[in-house]
Chain A
């Protein structure tokens, strides 16, 4: 049924040949582009909405391929058959000056309309199917289904350049609904309605393997629905140009089986984890001085989630992230917690239970349990955390955090931006890592 299965074996042979070719191809990348099975493939999909969209696409592909073969054959034949063999032959005789045949025209118009009807019928079906959660197209019906646990609802909000995810049904005493950022965790096998909103410009919510995109437009209450067939780890990305760092406004979706999802919800509802400092503080080591420096524009550091890994192992990576790191330095973490407040991070970020209540930046209450940081751009590890807080503007041009670090305002006047010493950075990294 799928285009790529047909091509898969051919592609494997092709890759053997291209192992050699890649020496010539300095890119050194493998020749898998026509298999179209990347992390954001719209062909190898993992949910009913994306599958329905894929099926409509394949209808259009087959209809147009059939027409292309027929029309192309006639065109190629006519070009070959009626060509003048030489420049002298061009004027050998004047062809009949005919003007056309209305019956042929009408026949071809009818055939085109017929071909379009073949496409139109599944298109209409899929428009309604993909538009709203089946059986939950009004608020009342949806709520009834949600009470039975058959559907789920999340609100996704776009910011320049990250995503906020809010769980309206998961209220935390006194502080409102559960909020996370950049990694959306959903129950697998359950239709999830996603309300899409934006805080600034237009963004677009797109998880290709689960569903087509829907734009996040100011003053519009858009929504979409998606469903993951089974537990898995999925790539998403903003699909509407939204300014400087549009290309690096990414996110992940983690689908969990219902039981694990419920456990995850419980862990997330807890306030931020506290690591008590030891009595005898040893002081932070300037352990980051030795770390490599990153070059300007060196984006993307999620290669560890390599294409060859099966989805389940990525999920394992995610699960491992939920547990506290080994060898935590409690003193360093305590210092980091203090620096987080002293350096003004709390003005924008929230860490529930640690006094940080900012709402304009990602909620960091459980940031240590995410696999990525910086809007799905960097892998969440010590090195990348350091890279991110050391010089956010070099990672994500124009982002708000880099503006807080700036030495000059927009008009070039000097301002007092955030300044971090190597010690501060070490402590903050340790602190953020501890927020499981």
Chain B
């Protein structure tokens, strides 16, 4: 009780200080202005998810084109350049524009609800992260729409190894779009991560100690730390590459004494933690789904959390296993080989604990559970092929072969995507108050599961049979034709499965069966809310008494009711629920960054008119960003207070004007 009062009640200011009236405070909750100015973490989460799913479909189409080209030996669907663009953009899109923002959608939507908060710590920064992500995504893809020999979509591989990405070898602006797009995505990710960290550390409901945090929130926290620690490495690398390409510096220019190997180290110091940035949220989701649908607590919670943190730490100590073939020397190779094997221990621990969670439970075989179990199986296979790579001598044969492709699609589709798709099913009733049909949900699961395995299992054989990655064609006499043909058929089946999944989701969104609160009989706080959750989330900030807070509340109803009545009274006396004002300025700041990005990439760096147009546009964009940040600062963190009636609906408030 004492805890509750000090941290979560903001006293209503009955005589607000005179605010400058120059600034417009948008109040629209719907319509374009409503979406552009929203600071509600749930709406922002929804938008993250919306954009992520669009890019997921784009990346999927790129994948199908890749598979179509490889269906037959010496096939002629794509040219070499088109194929190289496809695999570059497929990788970049799926990692940065699909899986990461989809995870961010869950971080935004679910995490504050799980810790009993009313929003994230910095709501406007959250909006800025979202719109900067969109700006980055636009720049990354802008090359598709600018044809001509000097432009085009990125084609240097998602890893962009120097010196291929230098102006000498790819003079097109395709690489510039890639560099600037990733930079902006990095800005968005770091801003969002700082926000999540501050939120989780500071805005937990009273009694929500760190060791009572839901595992998904724990994984959000670890992922956010990984993001802010790893993104600076690629930011440095990208700045250096940008300097090389635009201002003739020599970071990676061999002729000027540059070191291309430096790029690989910087890239993978980012790139390997990035892999865990993709998988840890998925592990968090699975660690929520399995206990709920087993109707018992997560087995070995402290060890699951600790192993997640160990994976995060070790993630920074294994980057060079992507570089076993770069001639690091026997000692470094051995060290990274052993460290990589160490990762298998905390990962294995998680696997054991998930199985322990099932043990003695009462498993509800619903669609989210199917995806979670699919995750456990597929991630196990992907983990085992990962152990095979950790043995450096074996990796010397597997590196850059289809075996690696099989491995990381097992952990990224079988792992991340399965968990994220399952997470959508799991939280859909909470987010939208509607439930997906079990039949169609399970059907899409099985089509995706079978299609996925038909696509990627044969790739193990292809890799061991010596087929290198990133090759747009192959000869008929290499023994690769059949496996490629099967993989392509599987890819189309997988595509059909994903298509069914999204059609069903879209149908459910508009027409699905309406359901009541907490349909899965779940365990964590977000399920204590009505669906869809009201703007203010919690009418009363809950007091947490146990790890599975909502489960505890359900089993101690009287005690909780008494406690909440007291808290509601206290809050009403303090002036109601404090809500932040909406703001357009984060959007303006991001818009400025988009202009900067386009200016810095589209124009040439030569004297006339190139550099003038370039600098001019960058300057205009910079001014727009500055204006956005300036007004963002002077409008201050003003807000308003909500007073609720019996049913939880806001009562019109006199003070809501300013």
Interface positions of A (Cβ within 8 A of B): 25, 27, 29-43, 50, 52-54, 56-57, 59-61, 63-64, 67-68, 71-72, 74-75, 78-79, 82-84, 87, 89-102, 104-105, 108-109, 112-113, 116, 119-120, 122-124, 126-132, 160, 196, 200-202, 204, 206, 208, 211-215, 217-220, 222-223, 235, 237-248, 295-300, 302-303, 305-307, 397-398, 410-412
Contact = CB atoms under 8 A, between A and B. Distances in A.
Contacts of B356: 100, 104
A102 B373 CA distance: 24
Contacts of B345: 109, 112-113, 116
Interface in B341-356: 341-342, 344-345, 348-349, 351-353, 355-356
Interface centre among A53, A57, A95, A130 (most CB of B within 10 A): A57
Contacts, number: 352
A217 B259 CA distance: 9
A303 B74 CA distance: 12
Interface in B230-263: 254, 257-261
A208 B327 contact: no
Given A29-B485, A213-B397, A296 B391 contact: no
Given A27-B72, A124-B334, A410 B325 contact: no
Contact of A123 (B329, B337, B399): B337
Contacts of A35: 479
Contacts of A27: 71-72, 481-482, 485
A135 to B, nearest CB: 15
Contacts of B362: 82, 84, 89-90, 92-95
B479 A38 contact: yes
Contact of A105 (B254, B300, B327): B300
Contacts of A132: 330
A217 to B, nearest CB: 6
B303 interface: yes
A130 B380 contact: no
Contact of B348 (A112, A119, A242, A412): A112
A2 to B, nearest CB: 12
Contacts of A57: 388, 391, 393-394, 397-398
A241 B157 contact: yes
Given A29-B481, A127-B337, A219-B259, 12 more contacts: A91-B521, A116-B387, A120-B338, A123-B391, A127-B392, A215-B327, A217-B260, A247-B472, A297-B79, A299-B74, A299-B475, A305-B477
Interface centre among A32, A129, A201, A306 (most CB of B within 10 A): A201
B163 A97 contact: no
Nearest to A242: B164
B76 interface: yes
A244 to B, nearest CB: 5
Contacts of A113: 345
Contacts of B461: 33-34, 36
Interface string B73-94: 1101001110010000000000
Interface residues of B, number: 108
A246 B182 CA distance: 25
A42 B397 contact: yes
A300 B74 contact: yes
B465 A30 contact: no
Contacts of B473: 247-248, 297, 299-300
Contacts of A68: 380-381, 384
B466 A123 contact: no
6 contacts: A54-B397, A56-B393, A97-B297, A98-B299, A119-B390, A201-B169
Interface string B452-489: 00000010011011111111111111111111011000
Please name the 4 residue pairs, one residue from A and one from B, whose CB atoms are nearest each other, closest first. A40-B466, A212-B396, A38-B479, A247-B471
A108 to B, nearest CB: 5
Given A99-B300, A213-B396, A295 B76 contact: yes
Given A82-B360, A214-B327, A100 B300 contact: yes
A212 B80 contact: no
B376 interface: yes
A211 B631 CA distance: 62
Interface string B40-76: 0000000000000000000000000000000111101
A219 B480 contact: no
A326 to B, nearest CB: 26
A206 B468 contact: yes
A25 B484 CA distance: 12
Contacts of B259: 219
B446 to A, nearest CB: 15
A220 B629 CA distance: 46
A214 B300 contact: no
A39 B299 CA distance: 49
A300 B80 contact: no
Contacts of A72: 377, 380
Nearest to A42: B397
Contacts of B300: 99-102, 105
A36 B465 contact: yes
Contacts of B400: 204, 213, 239-241
Contacts of A109: 345, 348-349
Contacts of B326: 215, 217, 220, 222
B384 A95 contact: no
Contacts of B254: 218-219
Interface centre among B301, B329, B388, B477 (most CB of A within 10 A): B477
B428 interface: no
A33 B462 contact: yes
Contacts of B401: 42, 239
Given A29-B485, A68-B380, A244-B81, A38 B396 contact: no
A244 B157 CA distance: 11
A79 B380 contact: no
A397 B466 contact: no
A75 B355 contact: yes
A347 B463 CA distance: 39
